[in-house]
Every structure is written in C-alpha cells, then in structure tokens.
Amino acid sequence: MTAAEDSFRQARIHAARHMAACESADLRWSETTITEIVTAQAARAVTVVPFTQRAEALSGADWIWWWVDGASAYGMLVQAKRVKVRDGKWSFDFGYEIGGTGRLQREVLRSTAQTLDLLPVYALYLGTADYRRWERCSETHRSGRCLACVKRTISLMPELVASQLIMNDAASTYESSVALEELWTPPTEAALLSPLLESQLAPELAEFLQTPQSGTRAITRSMIDRVLRARMGAFSAPSPIATSMSLGEHDQLGPVFKNVPDDTGHFGLPYFEQTLRPLRHAPPAYVVGIMTNDFDEERLQSNLPENIAGVVVARPPQHGG
C-alpha cells in the first residue's frame, strides 16, 4: 500500500469513527466536519492549501482537487453531500438553495467548475455501514463486515449524474459513484457505449475507453464510465450524424483528447467535454507552483472564485493498466 493509499484509508477510518460516535449519541455529523477530517488525514501524503478565512466564513465551500502523475493531470471541483436514510429511502439535498441568492448550490458548483476547466464532483458522505444497514454494495458483497461496504463511507460521483428521483436507495447510489479508495483502480471492463456512439469516437479516445488505465487516467475512467452508464440508461439516442467538438489545438499542456463527440443525451450538455476536458497533459501553472512550493497563497486565493475553500494536489497510486 502506497503512502497515498494509506492516507485516504486513514481519512475514511477517522471519518467513520466520528460518524459512528455521532450516530450512537443521536447527533447529526456535519459535511464540514467530515471534510476537515478527510483533508487533514489526506494531508499526510498529499499537498493541502486551505484558504483558512474563506473556509471559516463559507460553510460548505468547495475544494479543488488535482490528481497529477508523470503522464497527465485531472482536475475536479468537489462539493460535499451527506446522505439521509429514513425508512429505507436514501436522499441527498441536491436542490439546496444558497440563502438569499436564489441560486442553487449545484448551479454554482457547475458554473465555477466550467470557469476553471474542472469536473464538478460530489463527495458523498454515506455514514457508517451500520447506518446504511449493510445494504448490498455490489456483486462481491459479503455477509457480515463487508470491506467494500465499509469503503463506501466516502464516495465520489460526477455531479452530472446526480438525480434525487433516481438516487433513492443503496443500489442506485452505489451504481452512480465510486469509493474514494477505489477511485484509481484500473477498470476491468470497457466503458459502456452504444454501437452508434462508439462509431463516433476518435481512435485514441476509443482506445482509452476500451482498455485498462492507471493513475490519473484510471481516475478519469472512474468518472466518465459512470456518466456513460447513466447515458445508456436514458431514452434518447445519439444523433446518427457523427459530429464532434474540438477541445483546443494540439499542445503539450492542454486537454489530452482534442476531439470528442458532442452528444448531450438527457443531460442537456456535452458530457464528453465536461468530463474529459479536465484531463490535461500537464497541470495548470498554479498547481505546478503548489507542487514546487513556489506560490503566494494570498495571490492564489485572490485569483480563484470566492466559493473555493482550498486546493488539494495528490499523486494517485499507480497500478498496472
């Protein structure tokens, strides 16, 4: 187990302990507290730059996460959402409105992520496995103390697939998300694509979606695979006309994939662009500055939107892909 893997494991363990203590005392644990626990434990092996004053002033502020390895970098804008389980029904407050603004928190997450070329992501805080009643997590679910269920305490999900109508139980939530500790696990199967959509892929993108990946590319697959799975569950078919959109001219710093299908499906926006544009050949300058400890925190903070609580830069574990 690498240092990064152990730090995220410890993050989940400490978060679950706090959740369990609150649950046993009939107290409500908060998203902000769990985020603090996760980032504090992860900081043992990743770089964390908190904007302290902002984090204190903005309850539920979003965090920028960059995953960087020797081949590429993948950026996310992460917002926490806790589950509420009542009478076997699961719910998340995806429709939360920011007080006094008339705007949905979700809209701000998506627009800020678009401005920063990041993928909007929800960190799902699912409580302890006891709170979830050890509901079946996967085909490999084990009776008793299932490790896969335990790992699900902290899970990640593309904002694009979040739906309160659909995500109302364990099965639908697990289907739409991935445990934080499994985020970089190489996919064992090709991404789910319709034949028509598959025919519209550029060769390098087709190879990426059909073969195992590692590092930042495995993380990207964790996200796009769940978006494509949701896309296949929708009713609208891709356009029979093979159209694509350019994500920029070829260079050594910009997006890895230059041409992607412009299919919008039931999402109402080009989901390939949203999910794959944050995969870059190299991280942006401010991330390089953080990695080399050559940055001014006040300047960095002033250059980012006000709803950003801080930046995390992590090197994902490398597994055979």
Cα torsion 213, 215, 220, 222: sign: positive
Task: Please state, in angstroms and rounded to a whole number, the distance separating the CA atoms of residues 173 and 91.
Answer: 10
Between CA 90 and CA 245 the distance in angstroms is: 37
What pLDDT, in 10s, does the model give residues 188-214?
899 999 998 999 999 999 999 999 999
Which residue's entry shows tokens 């701000």? Answer: 108
Amino acid 270: pLDDT: 95
For range 159-173, the mean pLDDT? 89
56 — pLDDT class (breaks 50, 70, 90): very low
Q: What is the pTM of this model?
A: 0.92
Q: What is the pLDDT of residues 34-49, one digit of tens each?
A: 999 999 999 999 999 9
141 — pLDDT class (breaks 50, 70, 90): confident
57 — pLDDT class (breaks 50, 70, 90): very low
Which candidate, 300, 321, 320, places its Cα nearest to that of 311?
Answer: 300
Task: Answer with the residue of higher pLDDT: 17 or 95.
Answer: 17
Residue 107 DSSP symbol: H
What phi and psi, each to the nearest 5 degrees, are found at residue 123?
A: -90, 110
Question: How many CB atoms within 10 Å of residue 313?
Answer: 22
Alpha carbon 46 to chain centroid, angstroms: 17
Give long-range contacts, CB 8 A cutoff, 24+ apart: 243-252.
243/200, 244/200, 244/202, 245/270, 245/272, 245/273, 247/273, 247/276, 247/277, 251/281, 252/281, 252/282
Phi, psi of 84 (to 5 degrees): -120, 125
**Mean pLDDT value across residues 96-116:** 87
Give 101's DSSP letter: T
| Opening angle at CA 120, ends 116 and 306, nearest 5 | 50
Q: What is the mean pLDDT of the chain?
A: 90
User: 222 versus 137: which is more confidently predicted?
Assistant: 222
Q: What's the confidence (pLDDT) of residue 96?
A: 84
Q: pLDDT tens digits, residue range 287-311?
A: 999 999 999 999 999 999 988 999 9
Stated as kind and residue range, the H or E segment containing 232 is: helix 215-232
Q: What is the mean pLDDT of residues 9-28?
A: 96
The percentage of residues in the chain with a pLDDT greater than 90, rounded to a whole number, is 74
Placement of tokens 């930042």 in the chain: 216
Which tokens hold the place of 276? 């794959």
Closest by alpha carbon to 253, among 63, 75, 64? 75
Q: What is the pLDDT of residues 229-276, one digit of tens each?
A: 999 885 455 555 545 666 655 567 799 999 999 999 999 999 999 999
Backbone angles phi, psi at 180, to 5 degrees: -50, -40
Residue 81, strand partner residues? 124
Q: For the chain, first and last CA: distance in Å?
A: 17
